[in-house]
Structure 1
Amino acid sequence: MDARQGHGLTAEFLGSVGEDGAPARPAWTERGTPAYRRISAALFLAGFATFSLLYCVQPLLPAFTEDFGVSPAESSLALALSTGLLALAILAAGALSQAVGRRGLMFASLCGAALCNIAAGLAPGWHGLLIARALEGLALGGVPAVAMAYLAEEIHPRSLGLAMGLYVAGNAFGGMIGRVGIGALTELTSWRMALIVLGGLGLAAALGFIALLPASRNFAPRPGFDPKYHLRAWGGHLAHGGLPLLFLIGFLAMGAFVTVYNYAGFRLTAPPYGLGETAISLIFTVYLFGIAASSAAGALADRLGRGPVLMAGTLVAAAGVALTLAHALAGVIAGIVVLTIGFFMTHAVASGWVGRMAATAKGHAASLYLLAYYLGSSVMGSVGGWFWSGGGWWAVAAFAGAMLAAALAAAVRLRGIERGAERRTDRVTVSSKEP
């Protein structure tokens, strides 16, 4: 559909829908409008709550090792169970949102996850904490894929890159506040109280989200549950020429990123660094660079094309991993900064590209991307513990670097697909101008 046709359409056109239930003539939300600002703010809050709740335990892994007498790899289960079950829940949430709607499901998921975080702080033992964290991952499954689908359905395609970048910036801000705040609160009180306080902040963010987010205008629910429809939608995306490459990039980039962050704490608490909880948590303020990088990468992708920015992001992330091999603390921190910038560039572009590349059933495409993304966090983040125990930081860096090299190869292939599509578009344009 021509962009001019989509501009300014109102609800009178919403009676006409396509095969997947979406309106045939969308009523796009344009950049610069009040609705665009409300959507951006609401999804920023959703990203903040999701990532602060999900990753708040990452700085606490050494404390769990000490308090519960578990190994570093076992302590990572507090995060791996959440991200692993989140990955599985995303598929169900993507299908469920087709029936019940996007907005209400995201709100219920945010509230449920915040309550589970509070329960984790109150859990009397290690297994109780793991159960609460597992349930938290299941609850959070109703946010990421549905948020991506909502943006792809409601925001005009020419503004989608920036909108997705702002959403990912909210993820980065939440990841930073969750990690930094948990460390500071732990030293002031205890890690249990810190988890409870963060759960309360998650509930407040959920209330702000539901107050700000407009109802969907370009979504028509499909009542009931039709397994054949969902299987057909997922199968179509997996058979696509480019989407599986985006899913692979999400898996590998997230796996490398979480591996470095999971075990950097163990490295920096040991000699010769000997950093405390607060000092280690302050390192996560480098997420500020991720906030800037994600929004900038989304805007650049709208202007320069997604392929070049995606390749640049993976190269920057790999350079960051290499820098962490430095012995000096300043070099290690610089490497984490560069890795963070590169990762959020990669994720912002890849996640936005999924919504553009999927012609129909965008919620299903987003759910597959995030399934791969969080499986990368869960599986590779835990496997990284074996590398840390077996070979120290050099082994961890080699493992993360290998994943980013594979992600770069996939990004190069996607760039080739993008250029081929551009050439086909140019040929169609030229032929349409011929007399």
Structure 2
Amino acid sequence: MFKKHPKGLLAAALTNMGERFGFYIMMAILTLFISAKFGLSEITTGYIYSVFYASIYVLALIGGLIADKTQNYKRTIMWGLILMAVGYFIIAFPTPTPVPHFALYLTLTCFGLLVIAFGNGLFKGNLQALVGQMYDKKEYKERIRQEYGVDKRGQVLDMRDTGFQLFYMFINIGGFFAPFIAIAVRNWWLKFNGFDYNAQLPELAHQYIGNASAMSTEQMNNLQTYSSQVMLDGSVVTDLTQFSNDYLNVFNRGFQYAFFATIIALGISLIIYLVNQSKFPDPGTSDVKLKKGEKIAREEVTMAASEIRQRIYALFAVFGVVIFFWFSFHQNGYSLTYFARDYINLDAIDINLGFTSLKGAEIFQSINPFFVVLLTPIIMWVFGALKKRDMEPSTPKKIGIGMGIAAL
């Protein structure tokens, strides 16, 4: 599978898979954790979620500027991994629930998210840039020319698109398993403390502790019913205040332990990255070693005004595609998560593993990466067959096809 690709592609893919594994653990549980931890409404949680993801993309620009300025992409990527681990640790550090110092702990959580966003900005875009640069190396192109020759147009076999498909497939392998780990850790901690999982209880418990008199009769009945249902010893809850405090504390501690799994994943990614650094290109150096005092001749390309306008239009078209694609994609972690929690019978999806169970709204976060992993080899085969017949669509056309399918 990797035979026709640069030697560093597998290492980069594994590094990114571990990092994305941790990131998708967080993505699966972030909104539910914030709501359950602080008793915030879905709207307020959505504001935090939106600012966090906006920060990820804004700080990706900063991360690119830092790497370009220093010309030390490898170190920038390494610090990105380290900072993300620090951010996850800030969020994962066990704290009591209900929160005794609300403003302080919420500020610390938001600060942890900011650190994660900055680390992501240093890591993600720059690693992808390194992957792209692998295909520009003279040594790689010469190896492909010697082993596979050239195509009908006399050009070296271009495997860049296929390489990024493989790279993205590894991301989604991590994304597929991440929600299961998040659920398993949280439900294990609940079971260890004698509780079962119920998606509605955190909100009801916060309402009861905050202002029980404002709860409706239906809400009070639901709290009483659910509280007894989740007691694994079969006991009937008589003290709802004590139960609400205990359940919230255990429920959120399970979430925080799940965040520790992200730190482990990042540690593995960092080890893979450091061990394989020599396989990655170094944009700060040239393929040709220059003698002291020599300079690289700057190659200037002259384009007509119409061609410049055409490229600018194409760039804005890409901007539009990216905006709407990620606008849709990130509904997974917010509106679709709440939809799964509130409108799907989660008891019907309960995989009992003995020491824990796989039950929760987060499980639906695995659907998208599952199909990406399943369909990527098929898509690669289709485009490979079209390429042999000189019928492969251009990269922009592939993006357009993908957007059309996603819209359906």
Q: TM-score, normalised to structure 2's length?
A: 0.60
Aligned to 2:198: none
Q: Does 1:290 align with 2:372?
A: yes
AA at the equivalent of 1:198 = T
Q: Does 1:145 align with 2:125?
A: yes
Aligned to 2:331: 259
Aligned to 2:21: 52
In 2, are the aligned partners of 1:162 and 1:295 still within 8 Å (CA)?
A: no
Kindly tell me: are residues 32 and 58 of structure 1, through their superposed partners in 2, closer, same or farther at Cα, counting changes over 3 Å?
Answer: closer
Match of 2:89 among 118, 126, 134: 118
Kindly tell me: are residues 216 and 269 of structure 1, through their superposed partners in 2, closer, same or farther at Cα, counting changes over 3 Å?
Answer: closer
Aligned to 1:314: 403
Kindly tell me: are residues 246 and 292 of structure 1, through their superposed partners in 2, closer, same or farther at Cα, counting changes over 3 Å?
Answer: farther
Q: Does 1:43 align with 2:107?
A: no
For 2:379 and 2:45, how far apart are their aligned partners in 1?
34
Q: Could you say which structure has the larger radius of gyration?
A: 2
Match of 1:242 among 304, 314, 319: 314
SS of equivalent to 1:290? helix
SS of equivalent to 1:219? coil
For 1:32 and 1:220, how far apart are their aligned partners in 2?
27
Aligned to 2:359: 278
Q: Does 1:62 align with 2:32?
A: yes
Match of 2:278 among 199, 210, 214: 214
AA at the equivalent of 1:176 = F
For 1:65 and 1:256, how far apart are their aligned partners in 2?
22
Q: Residue by residue, what CA displacement relative to the aligned partner does 1:231-255 show, whole Å, maximum 9, x if unpaired?
A: xxxxx99963322222221221111
Match of 1:75 among 30, 39, 45: 45
Kindly tell me: are residues 271 and 169 of structure 1, through their superposed partners in 2, closer, same or farther at Cα, counting changes over 3 Å?
Answer: closer
Q: Residue by residue, what CA displacement relative to the aligned partner does 1:198-220 show, whole Å, maximum 9, x if unpaired?
A: 21221111111221243544623
In 2, are the aligned partners of 1:59 and 1:183 still within 8 Å (CA)?
A: no
Structure 1 stretch 293-302 or stretch 245-254: which is displaced more?
Answer: 293-302
What is the 5 A alignment of 1:342-421?
none
Deviation at 1:180, TM superposition (A): 2.5
In 1, are the aligned partners of 2:17 and 2:171 still within 8 Å (CA)?
A: yes
For 1:148 and 1:299, how far apart are their aligned partners in 2?
23
In 1, are the aligned partners of 2:84 and 2:117 still within 8 Å (CA)?
A: yes
Q: Does 1:92 align with 2:92?
A: no
Deviation at 1:191, TM superposition (A): 0.4
In 2, are the aligned partners of 1:165 and 1:299 still within 8 Å (CA)?
A: no
Kindly tell me: are residues 58 and 92 of structure 1, through their superposed partners in 2, closer, same or farther at Cα, counting changes over 3 Å?
Answer: closer
Structure 1 stretch 191-200 or stretch 56-65: which is displaced more?
Answer: 56-65
In 2, are the aligned partners of 1:113 and 1:136 still within 8 Å (CA)?
A: yes
Q: Residue by residue, what CA displacement relative to the aligned partner does 1:157-207 show, whole Å, maximum 9, x if unpaired?
A: 701111111221222223233323112211112001110122122111111
Query: Which of the pair is proportionally richer in helix?
Result: 1
Deviation at 1:100, TM superposition (A): 3.5
SS of equivalent to 1:220? coil
In 1, are the aligned partners of 2:15 and 2:269 still within 8 Å (CA)?
A: yes
For 2:315 and 2:377, how far apart are their aligned partners in 1?
22
In 1, are the aligned partners of 2:46 and 2:334 still within 8 Å (CA)?
A: yes
Aligned to 1:179: 179
Deviation at 1:106, TM superposition (A): 1.1
Kindly tell me: are residues 166 and 53 of structure 1, through their superposed partners in 2, closer, same or farther at Cα, counting changes over 3 Å?
Answer: same
In 2, are the aligned partners of 1:162 and 1:299 still within 8 Å (CA)?
A: no
For 1:44 and 1:261, how far apart are their aligned partners in 2?
23
- Equivalent pairs counted in the alignment come to 275
Q: Residue by residue, what CA displacement relative to the aligned partner does 1:404-424 show, whole Å, maximum 9, x if unpaired?
A: xxxxxxxxxxxxxxxxxxxxx
Aligned to 1:22: none
Name structure 2 gaps, 5 residues minimum: 96-104, 136-140, 142-156, 190-253, 287-307, 351-357
Q: Does 1:32 align with 2:32?
A: no
In 2, are the aligned partners of 1:53 and 1:117 still within 8 Å (CA)?
A: no
What is the 5 A alignment of 1:326-341?
none
Q: Does 1:269 align with 2:240?
A: no
RMSD in angstroms over aligned alpha carbons? 3.1
Deviation at 1:293, TM superposition (A): 3.6
Kindly tell me: are residues 77 and 295 of structure 1, through their superposed partners in 2, closer, same or farther at Cα, counting changes over 3 Å?
Answer: farther
For 1:314 and 1:58, how far apart are their aligned partners in 2?
22
For 2:374 and 2:309, how far apart are their aligned partners in 1?
31
In 2, are the aligned partners of 1:65 and 1:72 still within 8 Å (CA)?
A: yes
Deviation at 1:290, TM superposition (A): 1.3
SS of equivalent to 1:259? coil
Aligned to 1:135: 115
Q: Does 1:105 align with 2:76?
A: yes
Kindly tell me: are residues 115 and 63 of structure 1, through their superposed partners in 2, closer, same or farther at Cα, counting changes over 3 Å?
Answer: closer
Kindly tell me: are residues 267 and 103 of structure 1, through their superposed partners in 2, closer, same or farther at Cα, counting changes over 3 Å?
Answer: same
Deviation at 1:69, TM superposition (A): 1.1
Higher relative contact order structure (alpha carbons within 8 Å, sequence separation ≥ 6): 2
In 1, are the aligned partners of 2:56 and 2:120 still within 8 Å (CA)?
A: yes
SS of equivalent to 2:3? coil
AA at the equivalent of 2:402 = G
SS of equivalent to 1:214? helix
